[in-house]
Structure 1
């Protein structure tokens, strides 16, 4: 078998690794530098250099991916857990790299005409050489029983006949190159396609961080607003005795200096402020809990199965989601709306913490739907047995019932190109209930 020969020349490479992440890719690179072209096998190809902006480079990469996708799963899984790797910018004795600047999405756009719309996703990695050069890695996914044959969708005539592509041709990985399939190999791929649909998805879902509980938030905020109104109604500058009389000890500077307002103006401002009291409480609650409670994330592992472009919807029943804010964003006036806001003549009155720097393709979104909270995950893929984790600073997860000792979580997963729907359910304990008054003091009124 070709793989047996490959093993004899690549014994220095641990082929039981999953070639994802810098540590694994660096071990592949070290092997290529050690043995050069002898490293090439059915699962590893090497290009010492490529002009990544050229049509020839796109055709060579497409040819490698087509050949890797047209492997038999039983043979592919013997090495690198079924993955195949193209190393670009390395050779025996060194890694000169290629010019920096190649972006995965741009490369995908250039490869799509050759690969076709149903071609599996691939991974893209890089290791820097210097400020201007890097080694690139194109990583093909493990083939699966039930997959169709992947033909080339566009021709290309290179200066070297070996680099040419033919529209409609079927390419496979040989011992150390990619070539047109022979009749027996085509029949083997037909059998692969008859091997049934994709295996069922076995997903492990874990919630990272707490499901919080807190009570009497509205009451605490309402008492603080009442205190704000009381201070506004008096002469500016409350005395120490007045502060002692309340259960909160905010610095006098956080309360409003109304400035030179007439009695009529003061009454008008106060009436307008009172009319929006419910809105002030709702906004203050969101800011208070966003900075005061820890964030929550999600960890997903797909067991022994690659999931392409997953769409995972998680519903936290009887829960609420709030945007998580950094503790440095804590602002007393955002939690307790003053009757008249203090104005800094050199700063616009705008809450910059409200700006969330999320990219258009950020793989996590969250919202409240009725009495439930919903988190939607749309990463590029779930890799076999490789944990995928969302950040824990996106949102705060809160049980709507402060007395609930646990909450139910249900999820629905769909996969691009797969009509099957996978569902699951779990129940998780909630965090010990927090005291709203104590939490407010620790967030906004603690010294230092």
Structure 2
């Protein structure tokens, strides 16, 4: 047994999430049971034993993404209802019923409870398995269980079986799982190096949507276009980005051209926003510094409420191509000071570099950056490829954010820690940068500012 660092407030937050999302709340760290009989040996005890075994055999780095490494089975809650279960399950009695399924020292677990929401006197139970650690043995089932009902066969247990939990289910281990568990059992943490994880620049801020910028861009183009055309069409009006040959010589009312152009801007706006996202605010890299040599490391950095994109510097020409046109000019003098391109081609997305950094997100929406350099050497910081990293925040944004990291490596075992990353609250948010860029182009600038980077006034 262990003392689990969970208070009633944290347990109630888990219940609220299940009430809102039901089984969709399940993950590698959470299993939901609307009911489960733990008062006697049988199917309920077998399900609990399988969960404990699978949770104890989880990948250490995966486990750290949930509840500080713990796994929780919640009993007595479902979507929109929390009836709980009848009281009467005590930890020592539950331990007696479970013990036969554990081959060696049982995995550390605990049982907590809070009052049920819907039925007075009932309880919501929380079966909590402690985080797996380097050096832990492979948790092997030591008892057969065959459900009486054929519909429950998926819950069978086999003496000598190895079970693991990943994503939202507990399953039989495969060869890769067994190799990982064997490496974990052989790992030690006797010589932990000093490790520092940081980013080269403060994180950027993105707030809500960029719809205001899109509407402003449409307004600017429409005003400029109407100035160049009479109320009634006198020559062809061509809709961007492409019109079939049979339609190219049609005379069209201005309002119709503009309506089609608005559809074009709306359709292509996400591509334009992607260009701004990856290119404004400067590139940012993950840096890792260590005090001892580490071979074949894997560092997983988890940043809550964040997004990341491969960085590619935005340029004036790139913005001109990225902002979708309301209409394609058919004469040189048509909005010439504003729209300086003859057609709209969304900028090709940059191919992610095939290097040692991977971008992903967990079930809670946190950013997961997996860094896999060939090695880490003392005195030589490792610096990743450049990213644009944004924190999702309303104004005013936070000045810093706490991130967690885990590191494994050949002969190292498992090391974990936290790092505080600063947030660039003085720079414009992504949406402000988009708005600034649009206003600059609205002024009809025909030449770049006298700077190596013409977007200094926009994104910095």
With structure 1 as the length reference, what TM-score do the two structures score?
Answer: 0.42
With structure 2 as the length reference, what TM-score do the two structures score?
Answer: 0.41
